[in-house]
Amino acid sequence: MYEFVDLSERGTRSASSSIQTIFNGANLDQMLTNETGSFQTLTVKGRSNVNNRINTQEVAGMDGLLETEGTTLSERTLEVKYQIEDKTNEGLRNRYNDLNQLLQGYQKQLIFTDEDKYFYATLSVHDVPEEDSNTLIGKITFLCSNPVKYGEEDEAYLSSTDATTVFIEGTANTKPIFELEVLNKLTYALVAKDDSEYMMIGQPYDIENQEYEKYENVLFEDASSLTGWASANAGEVNGTIAGEMKSNGYRFQTVDYGVGSSWHGPAIKQGLSNAITDFRVEAKVTFRNTEAKDIGRLEIYGLDVHGNQLFKLAMKDILGGKKQSFGEVRAGGGSTNHFLIAEAGDKGWEWNDFEGVLRIERDGKHWTAYIARMNDEGLHTASRTREWDDNEGKFTADLAQIVLHTSQNGTYQAPMQGIDSVRVEKINQQSTGVPYIAGPGDKIVFNHRTKEIFINGEIRKDLKNLGARHFSLPPGYNIVSVLPKGDVKGVVKWNPTYR
């Protein structure tokens, strides 16, 4: 056992050195420094190194190697040397425990305070010397599998009618993000760079293949008022109808579940102007089972003209003593049905405290179910899609009514649950033509960093044009155009990139 040096006379080292290390948003020098000890970044190695990966091959009878044109950057390794100290053995151990916790994470931002650039890094090796003193010099090695470093995000406005000149700072190509606002209904959207590379979804129409509305809006409810909604009838939901549902201005929410020994709660319904054969129904819902004792069900039913259940969408928690949200999408009713989705999220907990989308679609005999959480940016995460063909023709009745239902079981505490919006669309069948893919107010995102495409937060790689690619923007001036002219506008965002 070694003895510790008393630091009380000379005080602790402050985190005010010329360079500090910030990993995944945590300033190590500041968070690991207090009145009993400190962490100080001493040196950083590897930030200026550039290692090219050169493609070569051996050729018989030729001296040396054949070097092919073009190189790529190899991975980058960064080494941070630091000093850590504490007054006591226990304090030093706790300080290391905290440091190891702060270094967790995969491809997180790594920033050094003497430079306005950052890397994406993962801890590779944490080398700690023999602990023979209360002051130690250690070394942290980070792997940057993406070797470039980035500057702060910049952006430029994209005109809906004219090409835009975008100047990119830096010394290496950068992957942009295009965020487009749709101004009019369109069958395609395209972003082009210098008329040489492009990203595109959908397809243009022509005189032989005219545009048409595949998804025609029949009902949209933003939950701002109960006007048009009436109480549902007994037998139209799986449970007892009781209590009351009201609008708080932006959500249909239960104010009283009533009384019942099993599932019970309010249910409201609205009929469609005309029954429809092929349809898509989407609800945005909130189901916050914040406590383990919360038990409840949120359900959306589709009924035929006779009040029989044609489908059900649901989010529920039925487990006592554990938070566990389950999503359900089924065709049919309580006795004759087919479940497309009846499970928790991919990781079990991903749909807890759920705010997101429940959707069902029937196109001929083909059914599609979709559940996704929506994050703060409106992007869909923890999504699940299931498809099924009703080859036996069990569920072919037309859709005529929509029912919204929230319920409590007995006297168990119910979660905060409500319906934020409901949309019902008729699917128009047409053998020829080009369908619209977006309309006014929709948002299209081409993320060339992650190679993802979104419409209103939902991933839509299925719409990508065969020849389109997620291109880069090189340093200097770039000419960027968006099409169709007058139908989209937006911004392009990028981080200047440095070798």
Domain containing residue 422: CATH number: 2.60.120.200
Q: Domain of 173: which CATH number? A: 2.60.120.860
Is omega for the bond preceding 266 within 30 degrees of 0, making it cis?
no
Looking at 150, 183, 201, which one is the last position of a domain?
150
Q: What per-residue confidence (pLDDT) applies to 17? A: 58
Q: What per-residue confidence (pLDDT) applies to 49? A: 84
Query: What is the Cα–Cα distance from 126 to 230, expressed in whole angstroms?
Result: 64
Is residue 14 assigned to a domain?
no
Does 143 lie in the same domain as 161? no
Is residue 15 assigned to a domain?
no
Q: What per-residue confidence (pLDDT) applies to 271? A: 97
Instruction: Give the angle 57-62-66 at the CA atoms, nearest 5°.
Output: 30
Q: What per-residue confidence (pLDDT) applies to 470? A: 97
Does 81 lie in the same domain as 163? no
- Cβ-Cβ contacts under 8 Å for 110 (sequence gap 6 or more): 21, 22, 23, 78, 118, 119, 120, 121, 142, 144
Does 174 lie in the same domain as 115? no
**What is the rounded average pLDDT of the residues 68-93?**
91
Q: What per-residue confidence (pLDDT) applies to 3? A: 42
Is residue 175 assigned to a domain?
yes
Looking from the CA of 53 toward its CB, the CA atoms found within 13 Å total 6
Looking at 150, 170, 197, which one is the last position of a domain?
150
Query: What is the Cα–Cα distance from 18 to 361, expressed in whole angstroms?
Result: 59
Residue 10 has pLDDT above 80, yes or no: no
Contact 118, 111 (CB under 8 A): yes
Does 168 lie in the same domain as 235? no
Number of structural domains (the chain) is: 3
Does 220 lie in the same domain as 205? no
Q: 192 is in which domain, residue-wise? A: 154-211+435-498
Does 344 lie in the same domain as 242? yes
Does 73 lie in the same domain as 161? no
Question: Residue 415 carries which side chain, given as an amino acid letter?
Answer: P
Helix, coil or strand: residue 89: helix
Question: Residue 90 carries which side chain, given as an amino acid letter?
Answer: E
Does 190 lie in the same domain as 70? no
421's tokens:
């919006």
Taking the alpha carbons at both ends of the chain, their separation in whole angstroms is 47
Is residue 304 assigned to a domain?
yes
Does 249 lie in the same domain as 142? no
Contact 178, 192 (CB under 8 A): no
Q: How many CB atoms lie within 10 A of CB 456?
A: 17
Is residue 173 assigned to a domain?
yes
Question: Residue 467 carries which side chain, given as an amino acid letter?
Answer: G
Looking at 117, 150, 183, which one is the last position of a domain?
150
Helix, coil or strand: residue 368: strand
Is residue 12 assigned to a domain?
no
In this structure, the strands spanning 188-193 and 118-127 are unpaired
Does 423 lie in the same domain as 456? no
Residue 11 has pLDDT above 50, yes or no: no
Question: Residue 223 carries which side chain, given as an amino acid letter?
Answer: A
Q: What per-residue confidence (pLDDT) applies to 30? A: 96
pLDDT band at 68 (very low <50, low <70, confident <90, very high): confident
Is residue 298 assigned to a domain?
yes
The string of pLDDT tens digits covering residues 26-64 is: 999 999 999 999 999 999 999 988 888 888 888 888 888
The string of pLDDT tens digits covering residues 385-440 is: 999 999 999 999 999 999 999 999 999 999 999 999 999 999 999 888 999 999 99
Does 141 lie in the same domain as 242? no
Contact 35, 85 (CB under 8 A): no
The string of pLDDT tens digits covering residues 299-346 is: 999 999 999 999 999 999 999 889 999 999 999 997 899 999 999 877
Residue 69 has pLDDT above 90, yes or no: no
Does 129 lie in the same domain as 43? yes
User: Percent of the chain beyond pLDDT 90?
Assistant: 85
Give alpha helix (H) positions in 352-479.
none
The string of pLDDT tens digits covering residues 266-280 is: 999 999 999 999 999
Residue 9 has pLDDT above 70, yes or no: no
The string of pLDDT tens digits covering residues 333-383 is: 978 999 999 998 777 789 999 999 999 999 999 999 999 999 999 999 999
Is residue 10 assigned to a domain?
no
Quote the mean pLDDT of the chain: 93
The string of pLDDT tens digits covering residues 192-217 is: 999 889 999 999 998 888 999 999 99
